[in-house]
Chains A and B, each alone.
Chain A
């Protein structure tokens, strides 16, 4: 970069050209820092302080918040719950999303209708939908209990049972994100060249399984990595269902990272402590994004 500038320095007008380039890039650059990177850096700095909301002074606290986190039982429960939530909802969302995409892609008619239907939960506010779910999961009149009852399973109080509440939330999360995964997979499916299937047919394969294994699945690589990353990140972001349906309970069984963060940062006014939790959350997100980028570059772009 510097070499290029130095070499082109010999050319008349090169300096003006470089200045113009920086001037034109400046607004975007400034906005990017102000809107995207700035807040993240602010949160990081805040996590090293002992500041509380409204405090005129910002006392330096070093790694104090992180040490406290390390010894905070609730934080570890919250982290574990978040990982369980992601661990359950991620494979379910990816598998069901892929299945839905394949079925809709293969449908003879009504594709647009099915696509819209599956996408509805993504487009609607989960807050409003949570009301419906609360009703569905109601221990006495809920639809879910009526259905499982048909299979001889006894009634459950889904949202008030410490063993079931987190799984119920993961199921709602899956229900919501499935449509997004489906849409992304469908975009991936349409990008697969048709002649690959034809070549495979000429090569002697005619079964659906062979077509899926030899062409569809490998060619969906980029879409798959993207779906996994985005579902993972959305899983880490789980908050609204917890806040509306369980408030972290019963007995912390649905306490998740963002809920803990919001409670500390906004309810208990421990802004700096909340910032430290946010940093942990951001670290996971960043790690996922990096892994996704690396995988996309390395493994799944064949052409």
Chain B
């Protein structure tokens, strides 16, 4: 396994700029998720790393070596495709064997008839077969080795794709939305399986996904991409609790964070919808207060809000409210909460993040002792 580095990558398709000055470092043995909506350039970035796509500017390094100009073969990376890209005419065993055959057998020894004449090829082939069996056993594919991909379920195909990537020792694994074609239950299982393998092998993994829950649950660090740029790279907890921008804050977390227009009064205290809140900031002017739905509680003082409806969710209930006439604010309450529509409640934020008008995070201090009054 090895470290990877992308340095100031730019990529254009025609006149469309898909990647702008993207830099990313991945440590040896790290699980890095690239998270972004579709069309943000995350797959293109992965393909540039793999060598499947050219680039307009920048460098790609693997284990400290510049590989920018090298073809995929010379980069020694393994990739799991969203569609799995299994060879449909080959059995599972043959599919898994391809990467080993390509690397261990000479071009002559790979030819159908002539291979019988190449000295040593037989021994090499037996070695390959042994490793295919080993990997298949590890992934529970032993009984399926003679089947064709068309005879497998989605989950099984996914495991074959994984086995084909694992069978040799690549510098890193690249995964392009590998779980997006599975149903919810299989996805949870496959998540565990991939994580288990990654830990066991100490593998470097770059994992592209649009599913933030997947990225948060699996990755050591998450790189959030928006419109061809990496906007923040951080461990999941930091990303959630200390997002650099409102953009990231709103993108990470489900249901999304509330963004409430706020002002600062003469004492430096924060005011939302006319209510003074127990937070202080040195900033001034038009601001945005970001409050996670679970950080809002119904209280006897705080932000006045009109109840729109309560959405029962089993483990919790989501309260939809209007704040200062604007709908779309959410609070996560106990599942037992029952509030009549049109009732007015007060919502008190326990934690909050402050952004300026451009969405950049500003310092915010809790002022616990100073009781806020409406």
Q: Which residues of B contact A199 (CB under 8 A)?
A: 79, 81, 85-87, 164
The answer to whether B79 touches A206, judged by C-beta atoms less than 8 angstroms apart, is no
Q: Does B262 contact A (CB under 8 A)?
A: no
Q: How many residues of B are counted as interface, with CB atoms below 8 angstroms from the partner's CB atoms?
A: 26
Chain A 32-76, CB-CB to B under 8 Å as 1, else 0, gives 000000000000000000000000000000000000000000000
The answer to whether A218 touches B89, judged by C-beta atoms less than 8 angstroms apart, is yes
Q: Which residues of B contact A303 (CB under 8 A)?
A: 88, 149-150
Chain A 202-221, CB-CB to B under 8 Å as 1, else 0, gives 11111100100011001101
The answer to whether B87 touches A196, judged by C-beta atoms less than 8 angstroms apart, is yes
In whole angstroms, what is the CA distance A80 to B17 when docked? 64
The answer to whether B89 touches A302, judged by C-beta atoms less than 8 angstroms apart, is yes
Chain A 168-205, CB-CB to B under 8 Å as 1, else 0, gives 00000000000000000000000001011011111111
Minimum C-beta distance from A126 to chain B (A): 37
Interface residues in B67-116 (C-beta closer than 8 Å to A):
71-73, 77-79, 81, 83, 85-89, 98-99, 102-103, 107, 110
Interface residues in A212-250 (C-beta closer than 8 Å to B):
214-215, 218-219, 221
The A/B interface has a contact count, at CB < 8 Å, of 67
Q: What is the chain B residue whose CB lies nearest that of A205? A: B102
In whole angstroms, what is the CA distance A203 to B89 when docked? 16
Q: How many residues of A are counted as interface, with CB atoms below 8 angstroms from the partner's CB atoms?
A: 21
In whole angstroms, what is the CA distance A199 to B52 when docked? 10
The answer to whether A204 touches B73, judged by C-beta atoms less than 8 angstroms apart, is yes
The answer to whether B85 touches A193, judged by C-beta atoms less than 8 angstroms apart, is yes
Q: Which residues of A contact B50 (CB under 8 A)?
A: 198, 202
In whole angstroms, what is the CA distance A201 to B85 when docked? 12
Minimum C-beta distance from B110 to chain A (A): 8
Interface residues in B125-175 (C-beta closer than 8 Å to A):
148-150, 164
Q: B72: which of A196, A202, A215 is its contact (CB, 8 Å)?
A: A202
Q: Which residues of B contact A207 (CB under 8 A)?
A: 107
Whether A206 contacts B71 in the complex (CB less than 8 A), given A198-B52, A302-B148, A302-B150, comes out as yes
B residues engaging A (CB < 8 A)? 50-52, 71-73, 77-79, 81, 83, 85-89, 98-99, 102-103, 107, 110, 148-150, 164
A residues engaging B (CB < 8 A)? 193, 195-196, 198-207, 210, 214-215, 218-219, 221, 302-303
Q: Which 7 A-B pairs have the closest CB atoms?
A: A204-B102, A302-B88, A199-B85, A218-B89, A195-B85, A203-B99, A201-B72
